[in-house]
């Protein structure tokens, strides 16, 4: 009797991130996963466009964690707010957040959310970008202050936390992957996990 065909062993899934938002989003898929901080320098290179910065950092995060977990399927993601070609990162504090929101008032900002999925052992790697166009209302200073005091979004790119009170700052969101603005485009994530051999169901 011929031997039974080998059944592939499911690979571990690792999220290369320190973001609580990405962790919450990935948990929606109900897959077991570990979290590993990627320890990547997130400073932009001179003249680097926001989309390219997001792509580079997503790939760097995934690669850094894949070196630690070579047999696992690793997810790396990064988001950069793009204001007319200028990258806006995480404000870090209240004063910077006020300045960012004043600049974005009445304007359209593209939140460039990049994604990389890779497995070092199998050689699998895919990259994608989920741009989200966000049109901000003309914001009053008291609105900005009330929002920041309520949400304290100092760890969010462009100070935008649309899943909370930040939605009231906006006129419109245009995206083909609804969770991309929060930090992890789950439609693309599912597509890339399937390609990597991870069964979402």
191: domain CATH number is: 3.90.950.10
The residues assigned a catalytic role are 78
**133 part of a folded domain:** yes
Q: pLDDT tens for residues 34-70?
A: 999 999 999 999 999 999 999 999 999 999 999 999 9
| pLDDT interval class at 170 (50, 70, 90) | very high
Per-residue pLDDT, 47: 92
Note whether residue 87 is domain-resident.
Answer: yes
Judged against a pLDDT cut of 90, whether residue 4 lies above it is answered with no
Does residue 73 register a pLDDT over 60?
Answer: yes
What's the mean pLDDT in 187-195? Answer: 97
pLDDT value for 32:
96
Q: In which domain, by residue range, is 29 found? A: 13-195
4 falls within a domain: no
Position 53 scores a pLDDT of 97
The secondary structure of the chain as a DSSP string is: -PPPPPPPPPPPEEEE---HHHHHHHHTTT---EE-------PPPTT--HHHHHHHHHHHHHHHHHHHSTTSEEEEEEEEEEETTEEE----SHHHHHHHHHHHTTSEEEEEEEEEEEETTTTEEEEEEEEEEEEEP---HHHHHHHHHHH--TTSGGG--TTTGGGGGEEEEE-SSTTGGGT--HHHHHHHHHHTT----
Question: Has residue 6 been placed in a domain?
Answer: no
Question: How much is the pTM?
Answer: 0.89
> What pLDDT is recorded for position 2?
60
The domain tally of the chain equals 1
pLDDT for res 3: 54
**Model confidence band, residue 157 (pLDDT cutoffs 50, 70, 90):** confident
> Is there a domain that residue 2 lies in?
no
User: Given this model, what pLDDT does residue 9 score?
Assistant: 63
Report if residue 201 sits inside a domain.
no
Residue 34 belongs to a domain: yes
Residue 95 clears pLDDT 80, i.e. is over it: yes
């Amino acid at each position: 009797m011929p031997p039974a065909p080998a059944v592939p062993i499911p690979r571990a899934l690792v999220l290369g991130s320190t973001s609580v938002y990405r962790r919450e989003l990935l948990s929606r898929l109900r897959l077991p996963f570990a979290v590993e901080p990627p320890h990547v320098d997130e400073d932009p290179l001179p003249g680097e466009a926001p989309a390219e910065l997001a792509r580079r950092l997503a790939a760097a995060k995934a690669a850094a964690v894949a070196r630690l977990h070579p047999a696992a399927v690793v997810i790396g993601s990064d988001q950069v707010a793009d204001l007319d070609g200028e990258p806006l990162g995480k404000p870090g504090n209240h004063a910077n957040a006020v300045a960012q929101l004043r600049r974005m008032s009445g304007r359209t900002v593209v939140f460039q959310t990049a994604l990389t999925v890779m497995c070092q052992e199998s050689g699998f790697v895919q990259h994608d970008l989920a741009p989200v166009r966000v049109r901000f209302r003309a914001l009053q200073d008291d609105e900005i202050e009330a929002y920041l005091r309520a949400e304290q979004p100092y760890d969010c790119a462009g100070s935008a936390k649309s899943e909370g009170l930040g939605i009231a700052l906006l006129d419109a969101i245009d995206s083909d992957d609804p969770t991309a603005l929060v930090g992890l485009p789950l439609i693309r994530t599912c597509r890339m996990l399937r390609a990597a051999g991870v069964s979402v169901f």
